[in-house]
Structure 1
């Protein structure tokens, strides 16, 4: 009996799990070794302790382009142009590098500028041209600056807009406090639910990126619902953890899609973008 026939014969016997164990062990060992290498490299080279930044793999970036294309109903080539636009914005990149270097929190931030899924936020804002964006959860302000960059490009094309950035931490948003990006950012410090209730103009695009507990995420979407403009877009940065936005979309008659990013050369498995529209 040749080797192939022998393996097939063993596969049909009670010895199959035992025979397969060495191959299964090699498979998991190779996977764990890859994760361990990237983890050790990150521990040595990175300073970040949360809100990790990284680039996307080329495949993940391409899937993100198609994701935005479907949601915004525009050609994928246009989406790719938007992604290239934010990633090649050297003025923004130099500002971020300088702001990080001058910050009191510079010892907890990397010197490399990597946007990850935020390039998807940028492309959606460029395509949808919202007049008023609201984001909850600011941290350093990287997302705020990305949103502001898209709004400034839109304004240059005759479609002005502003972003209201909500965070409970008074030290949040230091990356978004420099012109010209700060000129379209309204940074509001306080509880997100109270701040949403106080909004005085319709919301065209809402992004949940604050407290990621399920109950709080649900309360934010419930709170913003009466504030939304017709055709508003809802985003969540919590889509890989909860089903809150999908449930909200179903209960309000919207469509829903989710994208999960794949980081390049990083131990973290990545987050994603959930969209209801």
Structure 2
């Protein structure tokens, strides 16, 4: 009996799990060894302790382009052009690098600029041309800068807008405190629910990226609902952890889609983008 016939014969016997164990073990070991190598390299090369930054895999980037294309109803080639636009913005890149290097919290931040799923945020803003964007959760301000860069491009095209960035930490947003990005950013320090209640103009695009508990996320979407402009878009950066936005979309008669990113060369499994429109 040749080897192939022998394997097939064993597969039909009670010995099948035992015979398959070495092959299964080898696959697990190869996977875990790759994760350990990636993790060890990150431990000695990165300073980040939360809000990790990384690049997307090539496939994940392609999937993100189609995600934005479908939701915003624009050609995927245009979305890819928006991706290239933000990734090729050398002025913004140099600003983030220098501001990070001079920040008080530079010991916990990497100077290398890696946008990951935020290029999707950028493309959505470029495609939909919102007048008023609201984001909750700012941290260093990387996302705020990305949103501001898109709004500045929109303004150059004759369709200006502003972003209201909400965070409870008075040290938040240091990357977005420099012109020209600061010229379209209104940084508000305080509780996000109270700050949403105090908004003085309709919201065209709302992004939840603050307290990632299910209860708080739900409160934010409920708080902003009455302040949304017609046709407003809702985003969540918490889509890999909760189903809050999907449930909100169903209750309010919206469509919903989710995208999960795949980081390149990083131990972290990645976050994603949930969108209701």
TM-score, length-normalised on structure 2? 0.99
| Larger CA deviation: 15-24 vs 171-180 | 15-24
- The match for 1:230 is 230
Q: Give the 3-state SS of the residue equivalent to 2:263 in structure 1.
A: coil
Gaps of 5+ in 2: none
Distance in 2 between the 1:237 and 1:70 partners? 19
- After superposition, what is the alpha-carbon deviation per residue over 1:66-114, rounded to whole angstroms, capped at 9, x for unaligned? 0000000000000000000000000000010110111111111112100
Match of 1:94 in 2: 94
> Could you tell me how far 1:6 is from its partner in structure 2?
1.1
Q: CA deviation at 1:3?
A: 1.1
Structure 1 SS opposite 2:56: coil
Deviation sequence 1:224-273 (CA, Å, 0-9, x none): 00000000000000000100011111111111110010111111110000
What's the offset of the Cα at 1:14? Answer: 1.1
Q: Deviations over 1:47-78 (max 9, x none)?
A: 00000000101111011000000000000000
SS in structure 2 of the partner of residue 148 of structure 1: helix
- In the alignment, the residues of structure 2 paired with residue 251 and residue 18 of structure 1 have an alpha-carbon distance, to the nearest angstrom, of 50
Aligned equivalents of 2:16 and 2:239: distance in 1?
Answer: 39
Return the offset for 1:10.
1.1
Structure 1 distance, partners of 2:97, 2:263, is 21
SS at match of 2:171: coil
1:77 corresponding residue in structure 2 = 77
State which drifts further: 1-10 or 161-170: 1-10
Question: 1:5-49 deviations in whole A, cap 9, x for unaligned?
Answer: 111111111111111111110001000000000000000000000
In structure 2, what is the Cα distance between the partners aligned to 1:7 and 1:213?
Answer: 50
For 2:262, the equivalent position in structure 1 comes to 262
Question: Deviation of residue 2 (structure 1)?
Answer: 1.3
Instruction: Indicate yes or no: 2:223 matched with 1:207.
Output: no
**Partner SS for 2:115:** coil
Residue 115 of structure 2 aligns with which residue? 115
Q: Quick check: 1:161 aligned with 2:158?
A: no
Runs of 4+ deviating beyond 3 Å: none
Cα RMSD between the aligned structures? 0.5
Alignment of 1:1-277 (within 5 A): 1-277=1-277
What is the TM-score when the length of structure 1 is the normalising length? 0.99
Give the Cα separation in 2 of the matches to 1:130 and 1:48.
32
Residues 188-245 of structure 1: CA distance to partner in whole angstroms, max 9, x if unpaired?
Answer: 0000000001111000000000000001101100100000000000000000010001
| Structure 1 residue runs without a partner (length 5+) | none
Taking the aligned partners of 1:102 and 1:45, their CA distance within structure 2 comes to 19
SS for the counterpart of 1:18 is: helix
CA distance in 2, matches of 1:105, 1:161: 30
Counterparts of 1:177 and 1:200, CA distance in 2: 22
The 3-state SS of whatever aligns with 1:134 is strand
